[in-house]
C-alpha cells in the first residue's frame, strides 16, 4: 500500500537541504534510519497530525513527549493566547514563574527549589555544572544508551539521534571533557560500583533516565534505582534523574513518584512547557542554593521563565495536578495498545519484545528481553524501517528510529487504538514479507 501524496513534503525537503544542515533542525527528524523523506507537518489536533500534502496521521510521538493531553488542547491554547497579549518577553521576574516553581515543587517529590531554563539540554548541562560546583569533583557517570541532550559531557555512548545517526560519541567533544564522563551499562549495579571504587572521591554526579526513553523504552529492573541511590549516598555523589521524558508523564510527580526513589536533582524539559521551549532543574535546597545569585555556580538566561512558556506549562501541569486519574487511563490505553501489538506480532513472527510503562511504549524487533543498550542494539533495524514506512503509509506516525520511545496522549481512545492495531497487523505482515 502506498496511498499517500508526498509531493509537497518532498519539495520542502529539497529546499530545506539547501538552507539547513541535513534539511532538519534536529537529526532524529531526518528519517535517515528509516529511509525516505521526512513528512512536513502543517498542523495537529488531538491525536492527529496533518501534513502539507493533506494527509493525516495518528500521532504517537507527541513532540517527543509534551503533548500529554493531545495537540492544540483548548486550556493550553487559551493560556497562551491570553499570555501573548501582555508581550512576549521581559527578561525580568514575573508572578507566573513563581507560581510555576511552586507548582513544580508541590508536584515532584524531591524538588524543593527549581530554576527555569529553556530546554532539557540546558537543564542537564546546568545540573551537572551545579553538581560539580557543589561537590568540588569533576567526573560524572552516565549510562550507555541514555541521552541527556546535546551537551558535550553527554555525547558519550549517547542514545536517541546520536545512535540513530551512528555517532554515539560525537566529534567536537574534547578529550578532556570525554575523560570526565564515565559510562556504565543500564541496569547493572555491579558495573556502577566498580566505577565508583576505581574513582574514589572524584565522581560529582550520576545522571540517569529513571525510565530510559532514548534507546527505545527501557525499564529499570526492580531494586536498580534503589541500588543507585544507596551507592550515591555512601559516596556523596549527587544522584540526578533526567525526567525530561518521564516527568509529569508517568505520574503527577514523574518516575520518581511512580518508582518511589528520590534523586538529589531532577532535570525537566519540554513537557513543562506543554510544547513550548522550556526546561528546568531542581532538587534539594542546599544544592540548589549553590546556584547564582544565592551561590557561586553561574547559570543564566534572558528567556528563562519566559511568560508565554510559563503560561502554557502552568496550564498543562495544573490540569494534570487536578486530574491525576489521567495516569491510570493513559496506562490502561497503552496496555491495550501493547496487547494489540502482541497479537499482531504473534500472528506474523516471534522476534519481538515490547517494553511499556504508563504511556511510554517501544516495540523492539528482537526476541530477547531489552534491558540495556546492548540488548536494544540487537534489534533488527531493517525490519523496523520497513514496519515504520508501512505504518506511515497507513496513517500512523511512529518515531523514525528503533531507538526511541513512543508517547501516547490522553486524546487517544479505544477507537484510535483499534485503527493503530489494524495498521500494525497489515504493516507487520508487509514488513515481514518485504524482508523474506
Ligand atoms: N530526546 C528527544 C528524542 N529522544 C529529542 C528529540 C530530538 O532530538 O529532536
Point out the ligand 1 atom lying closest to the alpha carbon of residue 29: 9
Q: Is 145 inside any structural domain?
A: yes
Classify residue 425: in a domain, yes or no.
yes
Q: How far apart are CA 190 and CA 279, in angstroms?
A: 32
How many other CB atoms are found less than 10 A from the CB of residue 91? 10
**Same domain, yes or no: 405 and 269:** no
Beta bridge mates, 214: 216
The answer to whether residue 259 is domain-embedded is yes
pTM: 0.97
Give the number of domains in the chain.
2
Residue 374 domain flag: yes
Q: Is the pLDDT of residue 162 over 80?
A: no
Residue identified by cell 511499556 is: 356
Q: Report CA(152)–ligand 1 centroid distance (Å).
A: 16
The last residue of one of the domains, among 322, 337, 371, is: 322
C-alpha cell at 198: 576505581
Per-residue CA distances from 405 to 93, 101, 144, 414 (Å): 36, 28, 16, 21
120 with 218, same domain: the answer is: yes
Q: What is the CATH number of the domain that holds 381?
A: 3.90.1150.10
CA of 148 to the centre of ligand 1 (A): 9
Domain identity same for 356 and 399: yes
Work out the average pLDDT over 210-223: 98
Task: Name the residue of 123, 161, 214, 402 to mutate for ligand 1: max ligand atoms within 8 A of Cβ.
Answer: 161
* 124 and 244 inside one domain: yes
Q: Grid coordinates standing for 221?
A: 529492573
Half-sphere exposure of 293 toward its Cβ, with a 13 Å CA cutoff? 1
Residue 289 CA to residue 330 CA, distance in Å, equals 36
Q: What are phi and psi of 139, to 5 degrees?
A: -85, 155
User: What pLDDT score does 41 carry?
Assistant: 98
* Residue 167 banded pLDDT, cuts 50, 70, 90: confident
Residues 317, 322, 327, 332, CA torsion sign: negative
Is residue 45 situated within a structural domain?
Answer: yes
pLDDT at 178: 87
Tell me the per-residue pLDDT of 413-432, one tens digit each, with 9 for 90 and over.
Answer: 999 999 999 999 999 999 98
Residue of 64, 213, 279, 400 with the most ligand 1 atoms within 8 Å of its CB, for mutation:
64
Question: Within 10 A of 143 (CB to CB), how many other CB atoms are there?
Answer: 28
For 67-101, the pLDDT digits (tens) are 999 999 999 999 999 999 999 999 999 999 999 99
Mean pLDDT of 313-336: 98
161: pLDDT strictly greater than 70: yes
Q: What is the pLDDT of residues 189-205, one digit of tens each?
A: 999 999 999 999 999 99
Question: Which residue among 20, 22, 25, 28 has the greatest number of ligand 1 atoms within 8 angstroms of its CB, and so is best to mutate?
Answer: 28
Residue ending a domain, choose from 289, 307, 322:
322
**Which residue has its alpha carbon closest to ligand 1 atom 5?**
64
The verdict on 108 and 219 lying in the same domain is yes
**How long a stretch of residues is the chain?**
436
Q: Using a 6 Å cutoff on CB, does residue 26 contact ligand 1?
A: yes
Q: What sign for the dihedral angle of Cα 102, 107, 113, 116?
A: negative
What is the rounded CA–CA span in Å between residue 182 and residue 184?
A: 7
Q: Is 1 part of a structural domain of the chain?
A: no
Is there a domain that residue 376 lies in?
yes
Residues classed as catalytic: 147, 242, 270
In this structure, the answer to whether residues 213 and 279 fall within a common structural domain is: yes
Q: From CA 148, how far away is CA 331, in angstroms rounded?
A: 25
CB of 161 closer than 6 angstroms to any ligand 1 atom: yes
Mark whether 78 and 67 lie in a shared domain: no
Q: Which residues pair with 314 in a beta bridge?
A: none
Sheet holding 56-59, edge to edge: 41-45, 48-51, 56-59, 396-397
**What percentage of the chain has pLDDT greater than the value 70?**
99
Residues 371 and 240 in one domain: no
> Grid coordinates in use for 107?
508536584
The arithmetic mean of pLDDT across residues 100-115, rounded, is: 98
Could you tell me the distance, in angstroms and rounded to a whole number, from the CA of residue 406 to the centre of ligand 1?
12
Residue found under cell 521526512: 38
Stated as kind and residue range, the H or E segment containing 389 is helix 381-393
43 shares a domain with 14: yes
Question: What single-letter DSSP state applies at residue 271?
Answer: G
Overall average pLDDT of the 217-246 stretch: 98
Residues 286 and 428 in one domain: no
C-beta of 28 in contact with ligand 1 (< 6 A): yes
User: CATH number for the domain including 162?
Assistant: 3.40.640.10
Ligand 1 centre distance from Cα of residue 20 (Å) = 18
Cis peptide upstream of residue 293 (ω within 30 degrees of 0) = yes
pLDDT at 433: 87
pLDDT reported for residue 350? 74
Cα 372 to Cα 183: distance, rounded to the nearest angstrom: 13
Choose the final residue of a domain: 268, 302, 322. 322
Residue 163: predicted pLDDT: 75
In a domain, residue 2? The reply is no
* Pair (106, 117) in one structural domain: yes
Give the residue numbers spanning the domain of 159. 74-322
Q: Give me the pLDDT at residue 169, please.
A: 80
State the CB neighbour count (10 A cutoff) for residue 80: 17
Cβ atoms 364, 352 nearer than 8 A? yes
Tell me, yes or no, whether 229 and 108 share the same domain: yes
Amino acid at each position: 500500500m502506498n496511498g499517500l501524496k508526498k509531493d509537497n513534503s518532498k519539495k520542502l525537503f529539497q529546499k530545506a537541504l539547501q538552507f539547513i544542515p541535513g534539511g532538519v533542525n534536529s537529526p532524529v527528524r531526518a528519517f535517515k534510519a528509516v529511509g525516505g523523506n521526512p513528512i512536513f507537518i502543517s498542523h495537529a489536533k488531538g491525536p492527529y497530525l496533518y501534513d502539507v500534502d493533506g494527509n493525516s496521521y495518528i500521532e504517537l510521538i507527541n513532540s517527543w513527549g509534551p503533548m500529554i493531553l493531545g495537540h492544540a488542547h483548548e486550556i493550553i491554547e487559551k493560556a497562551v493566547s491570553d499570555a501573548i497579549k501582555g508581550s512576549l518577553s521581559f527578561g525580568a521576574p514575573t508572578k507566573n514563574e513563581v507560581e510555576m516553581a511552586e507548582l513544580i515543587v508541590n508536584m515532584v517529590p524531591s524538588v524543593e527549589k527549581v530554576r527555569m531554563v529553556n530546554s532539557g539540554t540546558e537543564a542537564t548541562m546546568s545540573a551537572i555544572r551545579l553538581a560539580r560546583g557543589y561537590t568540588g569533583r569533576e567526573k560524572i557517570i552516565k549510562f550507555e544508551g541514555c541521552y541527556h541532550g546535546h551537551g558535550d559531557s553527554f555525547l558519550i555512548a549517547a542514545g536517541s539521534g546520536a545512535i540513530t545517526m551512528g555517532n554515539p560519541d560525537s566529534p567536537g567533544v574534547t578529550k578532556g571533557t570525554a575523560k570526565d564522563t564515565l559510562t556504565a551499562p543500564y541496569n547493572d549495579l555491579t558495573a556502577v560500583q566498580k566505577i565508583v571504587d576505581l574513582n574514589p572521591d572524584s565522581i560529582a554526579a550520576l545522571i540517569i533516565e529513571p525510565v530510559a526513553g532514548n534507546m527505545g523504552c527501557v525499564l529499570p529492573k526492580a531494586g536498580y534505582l534503589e541500588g543507585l541511590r544507596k551507592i550515591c549516598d555512601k559516596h556523596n555523589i549527587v544522584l540526578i534523574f533526567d525526567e525530561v521524558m518521564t516527568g509529569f508523564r508517568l505520574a503527577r510527580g514523574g518516575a520518581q513518584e511512580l518508582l518511589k526513589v528520590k534523586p538529589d536533582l531532577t532535570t525537566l524539559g519540554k513537557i513543562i512547557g506543554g510544547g513550548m521551549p522550556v526546561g528546568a532543574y531542581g532538587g534539594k535546597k542546599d544544592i540548589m542554593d549553590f546556584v547564582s545569585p544565592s551561590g557561586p555556580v553561574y547559570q543564566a538566561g534572558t528567556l528563562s521563565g519566559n511568560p508565554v512558556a510559563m503560561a502554557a506549562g502552568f496550564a498543562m501541569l495544573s490540569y494534570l495536578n487536578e486530574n491525576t486519574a489521567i495516569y491510570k487511563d493513559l496506562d490502561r490505553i497503552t496496555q491495550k495498545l501493547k496487547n494489540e501489538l502482541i497479537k499482531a506480532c504473534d500472528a506474523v513472527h516471534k522476534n519481538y519484545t515490547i517494553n511499556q510503562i504508563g504511556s511510554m511504549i517501544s516495540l523492539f524487533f528482537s526476541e530477547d528481553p531489552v534491558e540495556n543498550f546492548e540488548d536494544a542494539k540487537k534489534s533488527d533495524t531493517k525490519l523496523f524501517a520497513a514496519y515504520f514506512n508501512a505504518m506511515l503509509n497507513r496513517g500512523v506516525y511512529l518515531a523514525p528510529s528503533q531507538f526511541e520511545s513512543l508517547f501516547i496522549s490522553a486524546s487517544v481512545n479505544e477507537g484510535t487504538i483499534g485503527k493503530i492495531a489494524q495498521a500494525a497487523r497489515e504493516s507487520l505482515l508487509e514488513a515481514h514479507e518485504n524482508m523474506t
